[in-house]
Amino acid sequence: MLDNQIARIKAATSVFPDAQILGETIQEWVELFCYPESDNPNIQILEFSLAVPTGAVTVIARNDRPVLAKQLAKLMAANQYPEIETKLLQLGFKELPDAILSCEVEMLNKERDVRWAAEEVMPIDAAFKLLPDGDVEAKLKQWYEEAESNACLSIGRSVGGGYTTWETELPGDSVRYAMSAYSYLCELLEIEQLPDPVADAIDEALPEELTVFGGFTKNGATKMGLIIRNPSDRIVEIARLSGANNNQNVLNAIAAFEGSLGKANPDKVAFSMSARGWEVEFFYNM
């Protein structure tokens, strides 16, 4: 099964620059974190994503926790990542012993970003222990208190990039309220929000599952955006058109990419603003 998944992913990325090197990285990553295959319920579906317009692709593995931990530690040691990253991984295991562990590699041209995340509904105080020093924690605490919430969905690290990843539910019983909470959070963290036309279109499309995610360093927020799982046809249309900026060539490339994967639509989409600028990411369960 994994051989088939690898072949489909390689086919989808065959038109990328340095496709051979990209394919080798993908195969190494899948074999490192997804083998051995078994009936263990903790081994979940492999996830693959494409970001537009940057062209970044990401492979995400959610295997049996001890397997992932062992392989990740081996990878970190082999690449001589900072010792603090090993300590943060151990801290994450201590604070979140029951969380699902995921490991991912993002590939953009010849750059590689290795990340891990603990995923579960977790007390925010536990998640805060993995945040870098600085004023991000105080601002997030203020936002959580005003939202009357005390839990997040995911916390993790880029072991080479030195930043923390985070995802949480948005408060309120309406999409409009949730979008307002997202906007307020961006203001608190002093990071650019989604373009107004995109935010308005998401609001009008009434997505059923809407969460906010971000990336943080000691200097503040570096990325902020929205994730929509099980997107409707309208949300997928918004994602494709806004990500491609209505460029038909890019839309055709997305269609060809999905055709190679054997996927008609993404399983989730993410809209974000970061140092790389405007970006839409399409996630596919393989």
- Which candidate, 207, 211, 231, 220, places its Cα nearest to that of 274? 220
Asked if 269 and 281 touch (Cβ cutoff 8 Å), the reply is yes
Q: What is the per-residue pLDDT for 37? A: 59
pLDDT-derived band at 3, boundaries 50, 70, 90? confident
Q: What is the per-residue pLDDT for 38? A: 57
- Which candidate, 243, 257, 239, 264, places its Cα nearest to that of 9? 257
Average pLDDT of every residue of the chain = 91
pLDDT above 80 for 166 = yes
Rounded Cα–Cα distance for residues 184 and 139 (Å): 11
| Percent composition of the chain: helix, strand, coil (DSSP 3-state, to 5) | 45, 30, 30
What would the mean pLDDT of 73-80 be, rounded to a whole number? 89
Q: What is the pLDDT of residues 128-164, one digit of tens each?
A: 888 887 789 999 999 999 998 888 999 999 998 999 9
Helix (H) or strand (E) holding 118: strand 111-123
Q: What is the pLDDT of residues 171-180, one digit of tens each?
A: 988 999 999 9
Q: What is the pTM of this model?
A: 0.94
Torsion-angle region of residue 48: left (phi > 0), alpha (psi -120 to 50) or beta? beta
Cβ neighbours around 234 below 10 Å, total: 14
Rounded Cα–Cα distance for residues 25 and 48 (Å): 13
Q: What is the pLDDT of residues 234-265, one digit of tens each?
A: 999 999 999 999 899 999 999 999 999 999 99
Strands (E), 124-219: 151-158, 163-169, 210-217
What would the mean pLDDT of 263-284 be, rounded to a whole number? 96
- b/e map of 126-159 (b: 16 or more CB within 10 Å)? bbbebbbeeebbebbeebbeebeeeebbbbbbbb
What would the mean pLDDT of 206-232 be, rounded to a whole number? 95
**DSSP result, 41-74:** TT----EEEEEETT--EEEEE---HHHHHHHHHH
pLDDT-derived band at 36, boundaries 50, 70, 90? low
Distances (CA, A) of 188 to 37, 70, 139, 184, 191: 44, 38, 6, 6, 8
pLDDT above 90 for 10 = yes
Sketch the domain layout of the chain as residue ranges.
2-285
pLDDT above 80 for 44 = no
pLDDT-derived band at 64, boundaries 50, 70, 90? confident
pLDDT-derived band at 218, boundaries 50, 70, 90? confident
Q: In the chain, pLDDT over 90 holds for what percent of residues? A: 67
What would the mean pLDDT of 42-69 be, rounded to a whole number? 88
pLDDT above 70 for 2 = yes
Both tokens of 166, joined, read: 């985070």
Q: What is the per-residue pLDDT for 271? A: 98
pLDDT-derived band at 39, boundaries 50, 70, 90? low
Four-residue CA torsion sign, 37, 43, 44, 46:
negative
Rounded Cα–Cα distance for residues 228 and 226 (Å): 7
Strands 151-158 and 111-123: antiparallel
